[in-house]
Amino acid sequence: MRNDDNKQRVSSLGLKAESYKEILNYDVLKKGSLNFFDVVKNSNKFYTIELHKCDGYFRISTEYGRLGVTSKKDQRVAMSLDIAEKEYNKLLKGKLSKGYKEVELAQSNTGSDKAKELVNLDEVKVKKVKKVKSKLHQSVQEFVSQIYKEAQVQLNYLAVGNNDNQNSSPLGKLTVNQINKGRSILQEISDIINNKTHIMIDDVLELSNKYYMHIPKAFGLRISKEDVAIRTLNEINDQMNILKFYEDSLRMGNIMYNDNIDERYKQLASDIAPLAKNTKVYKQLVDYVVNSQSRHHNVNLEVKRIFTLSQKNAPEFDDSVGNTKLLFHGTRSANLPGILSTHIKMPNQLKGVYITGAMFGPGIYFADQSTKSSQYACARFGGNPNKFDTAFLLVSEVALGRIKEEKNARYHIQAPAGYDSVKGVEGSSLLHNEYIIYRENQHQLKYIIEFQPKRRR
């Protein structure tokens, strides 16, 4: 586009919006991402605005539409930076005055191609990855590939349906600050739930609406109050899991969505190796899985592979309390990149939110029956099914010390005085034993068991 043509067009049209034109030479000087959500008005809109310095002129680029459905791009051309900035600020202020909220993004899924390439390096870890032939054992390659694929699928399912942007909200990667805004709103909702005997939709609708204003989600063409209202503690916990996935995505950066297996493995910060099937330990672990299956679960677990595991980022194991025992821990395959790259952490729990299944408070839960833990590794308690036919059990060496046995649910935020752990004993409230520790350094992950669940006939 020639500069003379721009002058003539600007003088006759001013800053009137016109169809967006793809060009190669421009720099993004400013960018803003806004979101508007109102369930009553069936409105779920976004607005992205950018200020570009082009070859001899400036332009304001806008993209807007319904989240996850449609969008349109416009541009406005100006011959000076001063005029362009005034127009940019006017458009931005106009949207904010209509109730739009700015969304802080570390990386964007909307706007111009160059804007999508911009990354806040303080928020997102990005590495240039060169594809080379893997040096890892084939079984380890397959394990790493599987857990990353499961994480991508799960993030899509939880947050954005079938959106192609696999690592983020529909607008892009939210910053930690933006994620924490969502957590604060969830805390407000939990306070309401805990202070009322019966929760009606209207009790939480305003705050739920506010939550999706700050944590964008694609709902499709129609939004109902029932879809939006966050009115149970389980639903709050689901949203907390989504926010944790967003944080994991930030921390792991583009490695989570890069097909270089060795770089993905390196990000896990763990030494993982296949355990030979002819070893004594392998046979003992298979026997442990098979012999500890419960008749109540109506499933048999077929062990496919076992890996040894040594984590680099886990706290140093403290077994000083004694009474160590190998126990199972079940978690979705999608959670493994986050767990292996750090460690199994105490739940990031909101005040007053008691998680279903956590009958003895926010601790780290283990089982001595393989099928009990396998339910958490599969889709037994809700969510979308795993992408693969196999899932994984973690086996930890747990220092239980002096155990407080409980026959009924009792909420603890730490081990009871004089005890080092809690054991939920099989009986009136529990079909199976549970072991709970309240310090992260009271266990160390030792093995990963890949299994295929097969329903009993």
Query: DSSP readout, 407-438?
Result: SS----SSPPTT-SEEEE-SSSS-SS-EEEES
Specify whether the CB–CB gap between 119 and 252 falls below 8 A. Answer: no
Q: Is residue 200 part of a domain?
A: yes
Residues 93 and 190 in one domain: no
Would you state the structure tokens that stand for residue 76, as one six-digit string? Answer: 């406005």
Query: Which pLDDT band, with edges at 50, 70 and 90, does 129 fall under?
Result: low
pTM exceeds 0.85: no
- Name the least confident of 165-179, 184-198, 315-329: 165-179
Report the pLDDT averaged over residues 223-240: 90
Residues 310 and 433 in one domain: yes
Q: Is residue 369 part of a domain?
A: yes
Instruction: Look at residue 92 and tell me whether its pLDDT is greater than 50.
Output: yes
Give the residues across from 52 on adjacent strands.
28, 59
Q: Is residue 209 part of a domain?
A: yes
Residues 204 and 277 in one domain: no
Q: Is residue 129 part of a domain?
A: no
Report the pLDDT averaged over residues 120-130: 57
The CATH number given to whatever domain includes residue 451 is 3.90.228.10
DSSP SS3 for 31: strand
Would you state the structure tokens that stand for residue 353, as one six-digit string? Answer: 């939110």
The CATH number given to whatever domain includes residue 237 is 1.20.142.10
Report the pLDDT averaged over residues 195-221: 92
Q: Is residue 366 part of a domain?
A: yes
Angle subtended by helix axes 233-252 and 176-194, to nearest 10: 170
Q: For position 8, what pLDDT does the model report? A: 39
Report the pLDDT averaged over residues 162-168: 46
Specify whether the CB–CB gap between 28 and 48 falls below 8 A. Answer: no
Angle subtended by helix axes 138-155 and 233-252, to nearest 10: 130
Residues 88 and 177 in one domain: no
Q: For position 118, what pLDDT does the model report? A: 80
Question: Over the chain, what is the mean pLDDT?
Answer: 86
Q: Could you say which of 217, 244, 262 is where a domain stops?
A: 262
Residues 304 and 432 in one domain: yes
Residues 411 and 298 in one domain: yes
Q: For position 10, what pLDDT does the model report? A: 45
Instruction: Look at residue 428 and tell me whether its pLDDT is greater than 70.
Output: no
Q: For position 17, what pLDDT does the model report? A: 82
Q: Is residue 122 part of a domain?
A: no
Bridge pairing between strands 299-311 and 270-274: antiparallel
Q: For position 349, what pLDDT does the model report? A: 55
pLDDT digits (tens, 9 = 90+) for 280-324: 999 999 999 999 998 877 889 999 999 999 999 999 999 999 999
Q: Could you say which of 242, 262, 282 is where a domain stops?
A: 262
What's the CA dihedral at 63, 66, 67, 69 to 10 degrees?
A: -100
Contacts of 228 (CB under 8 A, 6+ apart): 39, 205, 208, 209, 212, 219
Q: Name the percent of the chain lying above pLDDT 70.
A: 85
Residues 372 and 421 in one domain: yes
Give the residues across from 22 on adjacent strands.
none
Q: Which domain holds residue 73?
A: 3-117
Give the Cα separation of 99 and 119 in Å (integer).
27
Q: Could you say which of 262, 281, 305 is where a domain stops?
A: 262
Specify whether the CB–CB gap between 326 and 450 falls below 8 A. Answer: no
Q: Give kind and range of the element (H or E) at residue 190.
A: helix 176-194
Q: Residues 157-160: contacts with CB within 8 Å, 24+ apart?
A: 157/383, 157/384, 158/238, 158/241, 158/242, 158/245, 158/383, 159/217, 159/242, 159/245, 159/246, 160/68, 160/217, 160/218
Residues 235 and 350 in one domain: no
DSSP SS3 for 308: strand
Count of other CB atoms within 10 angstroms of residue 13: 12
Count of structural domains within the chain: 3
Residues 303 and 438 in one domain: yes
Instruction: Look at residue 379 and tell me whether its pLDDT is greater than 70.
Output: no
Q: Which of 143-152, 169-178, 206-215 has the highest mean pLDDT?
A: 206-215
Q: Is residue 287 part of a domain?
A: yes
- Residue whose structure tokens are 């959106």: 163
Report the pLDDT averaged over residues 50-70: 94
Residues 359 and 448 in one domain: yes
Q: Is residue 392 part of a domain?
A: yes
Residues 83 and 154 in one domain: no
Q: For position 368, what pLDDT does the model report? A: 96
Instruction: Look at residue 72 and tell me whether its pLDDT is greater than 90.
Output: yes
Residues 212 and 240 in one domain: yes
Instruction: Look at residue 418 and tell me whether its pLDDT is greater than 90.
Output: yes
